[in-house]
Structure 1
Amino acid sequence: MLNPTQLIDAWGYIAIFLIVVLGNVGLPVPEETVLTVGGYLAWRGQLRFAGVVSVALISAVMGDNLAYWLGRSYGQKLFARWAAARPDRVERMQRFVLRYGALAVFLARFVAGLRFMAGPLAGTTGLSPSSFFIANLLGALLYVPLMVGVGYAIGYGLGDRIERLRHAAGDIVLIVLAGAVLVVWLVMVLRGRRRRA
């Protein structure tokens, strides 16, 4: 199965959109990786920086709003599975959202474990749609360009080295496979000698 980096490399903006939406709805996808890879590919010239930021912003806000409405519509049923596995964590997050409301939604954008749960929790706890939308949008407006910028900066500072490693990786894989074949062959030869002795 392809990893997010390979998907973005192959499908570009479409992959960024789908992965970020699904990650914000609750799929365990590291959004940081997706945004950073998008920024790096913008540095390489495969994607445009403004395009990556725009697509990621739209998909992050869409995914979070979908999660918010799922929480508002299905309430605690949505968290039954998570609560069974980690009741203390879900309860703490609910208290955090209840206590801080829109500020919790804004801050959740910057915390990987809370990011995907902030939307449904805000919907469950009754935060108004307008408060959620504004807090979520403001968080995304800061977070998305920052993470895409990190990927671009990595390319700017280390891009040539990364590209050399990418090309060398193919050679390294061949060397490792050849080494593995050699080890298997040696083991078979040594076992054959022991059986004959």
Structure 2
Amino acid sequence: MHIQEWLESVPAVAVYLLVGGVIGLESLGIPLPGEIVLVSATLMAATQDHINPYILGACAVAGAIIGDSIGYLIGRKGGKPLLDWLGRKFPKHFGPHHVATAERSFQKWGMWAVFVGRFIALLRIFAGPLAGVLHMPYWKFLIANVLGGIVWAGGTVALIYTVGKAAEEWIGKFSWVGLLAAVLFGVGSFVVMRIKAKKAKAESEAAPAAEQPEAVPAGD
């Protein structure tokens, strides 16, 4: 099956659930590539008419807000022992220096750390649980969480969808230009590689000769 046909056969509901689920799990503290999934799904929406970007954006926003809220409750109940346990299980994401960096951000910025953290991979994972561990008032957390989720998820979908549509239209109008550029790039790369290979071969052949000691003339 051609890739285009396969993409068209993917149910839109499955895409919406995947995006909302991955972003929600990442937001509650599980290290997952939420941003990559969101961008990929939005690019798919730009090329596949059966995927509605508005529904996609709404699912992403809902996943971000709900996931962060669950993470907050987990952090509130688990406290510091939860962070210690996560540090042992996921040292690359919840190591002591990661936790210390996130705590400094929260102590310095407060609500802004939750909002801005939505745009930073490390803080996006930490924001909910750490806000709960540090006992940030829930109403403050909720305001920053909702605004951050809307701006990050909604803004990402709007931006990537617009760029994807523009790129699709440009490629459709100037496909022959892209083909010519690809051919020229391929030929140019081949020529450069051949030149570099010849140069490297010449240098490797010259090196042993240069390293050989000069003959010492025999004494009288």
TM-score (norm 2): 0.64
Q: Which runs of 4+ in 1 moved over 6 A?
A: none
Aligned residue in 2 for 1:37: 40
The residue identity in structure 1 corresponding to 2:165 is Y
Aligned residues of 1:35 and 1:151 also touching (Cα < 8 A): no
Aligned residue in 1 for 2:19: 16
- Structural mapping, 1:36-55, within 5 Å: 36-43=39-46, 44-55=48-59
- Structural mapping, 1:76-155, within 5 Å: 76-84=80-88, 85=91, 86-155=95-164
Aligned residues of 1:37 and 1:151 also touching (Cα < 8 A): no
The count of aligned residue pairs is: 156
Aligned residues of 2:27 and 2:127 also touching (Cα < 8 A): no
> Shift of the alpha carbon at 1:68?
0.5
Q: Structure 2, unaligned stretches of length 5 or more?
A: 1-6, 176-220
Distance 2:49 2:163 in 1: 14
Aligned residue in 2 for 1:174: none
Aligned residue in 2 for 1:175: none
Cα deviations by residue, 1:111-132 (Å, 9 ceiling, x for unpaired): 0111110111111111011100
**More helix per residue:** 1
TM-score (norm 1): 0.71
Q: Structure 1, unaligned stretches of length 5 or more?
A: 1-5, 165-197
> Shift of the alpha carbon at 1:14?
1.4
The residue identity in structure 2 corresponding to 1:122 is A
Distance 2:119 2:158 in 1: 15
Percent sequence identity over aligned pairs: 29
> Shift of the alpha carbon at 1:153?
2.8
The residue identity in structure 2 corresponding to 1:35 is L
The residue identity in structure 2 corresponding to 1:131 is K
Distance 1:138 1:115 in 2: 14
